[in-house]
Amino acid sequence: MAIVVKRKPLTLLEKLYIPEIARGLMVTFRRMFFGETVTMEYPEQRPPIPAGYRGVPTLVKDPEGREKCVSCQLCEFVCPPKAIRIQPGEISEDSEYAHVEKGPKEFDIDMLRCIYCGMCQEVCPEEAIWLQNQYSMSGYSRAEMVNNKAKLYELGGTLPDEHFKWNKKKEAAENGGGHH
């Protein structure tokens, strides 16, 4: 059963909307001349970033400039919108990083699909993916919004590493192969 609400009929001034327009302009002028400014001039003034902010996912290197990513593909599997694509690559035996299992041949993150959930950072066992405090990303085409491996390392940079996992593996390989 429908409920019918009766309304009083509008007066002539209410039909013309003049009083409502005047009231809206009064509020606007009061804020312009007597109120506190709440507008932020964006590129020059940036809002404070709250703690726990999840921004753009990037790849980081260790302090020695080596790739931390070992192409385990956990981030690709856990990504809800499937924005991450990794093509694993082999590391040659004569490389100084031969003690590392493997590295990414290609690593792409489609920023148009990314939902900034942070699951890729949480699942990464090597701490190779980090969410940066960057919140303004733009591009003129869809292709510009797909960050490849080089762009991801450029955005991510280098983070301190307290584990030194690869150094320990290299030392173990040189001293007989056992883990310490």
Cite the annotated binding site by residue number. 69, 72, 75, 79, 114, 117, 120, 124
Say which amino acid occupies 83: A
Query: For residues 118 and 54, is the Cβ–Cβ distance under 8 A?
Result: yes
Strand partners, 110: 146
Nearest to 69 by CA among 127, 151, 154: 127
Q: How far from chain centre, in Å, is Cα 27?
A: 38
Q: Residues at the annotated binding site for [4Fe-4S] cluster?
A: 69, 72, 75, 79, 114, 117, 120, 124
Q: How far from chain centre, in Å, is Cα 7?
A: 50
